Homo-oligomer: A and B are copies of this chain.
């Protein structure tokens, strides 16, 4: 590790100190008249009985849960200074609680709460003791997903919270490969180089460093020419879609056509505009542009590089037809969610690279690194850019600065490129393992799409289009009961179609994949 950088960081904590002579100012000087800690105000204490008063107040806080077991009391010296009492008062109060077996002195680790007083000893508390857990406690785990009903807005939360041995939900890269050491190194460098104003309120569009890094990344990897000034940093594609739906709605747009099958999550976010999301069918070449024209919506949501969930890559002919549709006034929202992950074919440049003024482009770090980063980027057609920035400003005043600066370093240093290259090889092996397992365990299942991305979609020849929804949701429910998570394909359909499952492989080992698919096969055979 880089010692000189660490020293710089250490020094920075002392920065800005000034000795300017105002009365009574010393690092340890508290506010004098009372403590933030439990809002203790010594004015409430009877004269001569301060230690007893303090011990009673502390007992009350122990009894009503404000000081839970394991929490630490403030150092006696500091609490005495805050309260404006002698240190002996605090020492005596702490001693009484120690004698009661409620707290324990632990040397340098301070005084720690070890027990809660029985209700009858908690004299002087103003609040009643709370019942341990009420039936409607917000801490109770959320209910499991209902596969019987149409999926609601909390369906992904419910599935994620359901217990399972093997999670084959789509949408995750290999999270175990997250470059923790590289992230920490970059964070150290960022903290060392940061200026104080970087920690204040920032540009709602994002930090200049990340906007420049994203612009270069898009030029290098996605064929997109963009000025850093055009890049808006957002909290993932989810926020991108919610914001652009609002901007489009304010511009008079009321519907945006969706690929069908197509991402349920994207559909839910676009519906926040509020926009309606009429379905347009997808075939083996991608979205049906003739159907899009016939449908008549002014905008369409697409995943051209690797259609979600079918995995189809938009064909050259369809790109041409879409280009014509866009130049006649159609608006395209391009969700480029996993384009960097492809295993057997030349990459396809983003639609945005060809149709700059007609495409909203959304990308994110969720599939490149990890969804928990909540960082994405949007390129809007020029005429929408100011409205989009205003929407982002009101949403949250802009993304947090530190993670943006760390990600910018990983992009600029080549570390992200190396990471994507490394996980791509692993993802490819995992896809092979998934396809092999499907061939072995799910006879008659059809695997769709290109060798790319982080998931495969399979359909089954049984059930038929009419019973598709019931068949695949029942299958997914049975698999979950068996400890294996997967998305029923019908969650991502608006119109009836053959039953199927959407299966993520990138975050799972080949053994887990084999076991999970075997469990699906067992349930399918029943």
Q: Which residues of A line the B interface, CB within 8 A? A: 1, 6, 9-10, 12-13, 15-18, 20, 22-23, 25-39, 41, 43, 61, 64-68, 71-72, 74, 78, 110, 127, 130, 137-140, 153-154, 156-157, 160-161, 167, 171-172, 174-184, 187-188, 191-192, 194, 196-204, 216, 219-223, 225, 227-230, 234-236, 238-239, 242, 268-269, 272, 340, 342-349, 370-375, 385, 390, 393-403, 414, 417, 421-422, 424-426, 428-429, 432-433, 507, 509-511
Cβ of B394 and Cβ of A272 under 8 Å apart?
yes
From the candidates B26, B154, B397, name the one contacting A238 in the complex (CB within 8 A): B397
> In the complex, what's the smallest C-beta–C-beta distance from A406 to chain B, in angstroms?
9
Cβ of A402 and Cβ of B429 under 8 Å apart?
no
From the candidates B228, B342, B372, name the one contacting A201 in the complex (CB within 8 A): B372
Number of copies of this protein chain within its complex? 2
Question: With A66-B225, A346-B43, A429-B25 in contact, do A199 and B509 touch (Cβ < 8 Å)?
Answer: no
Question: With A180-B9, A401-B372, A424-B31 in contact, do A65 and B219 touch (Cβ < 8 Å)?
Answer: yes
Bound-state Cα–Cα, A429 to B17, Å: 10
Bound-state Cα–Cα, A110 to B176, Å: 28
- Please give 16 more A-B residue pairs, beta carbons under 8 A apart, in addition to A16-B174, A238-B396: A9-B180, A12-B176, A13-B181, A18-B510, A28-B425, A30-B424, A31-B343, A139-B229, A172-B201, A180-B192, A184-B191, A235-B399, A236-B397, A238-B397, A269-B394, A395-B395
Residues of chain B with a CB closer than 8 A to A221's CB: 36-37
Cβ of B71 and Cβ of A220 under 8 Å apart?
yes
Chosen A-B contacts, 29 in total, with CB atoms closer than 8 Å, are A9-B180, A10-B181, A12-B176, A12-B178, A12-B181, A20-B433, A22-B428, A28-B425, A29-B425, A30-B421, A31-B345, A33-B345, A35-B347, A36-B342, A39-B349, A67-B219, A67-B220, A139-B227, A153-B394, A160-B201, A172-B201, A175-B200, A180-B192, A199-B370, A200-B370, A201-B371, A235-B397, A242-B396, A372-B400
Residue of B nearest to A204 (CB): B157
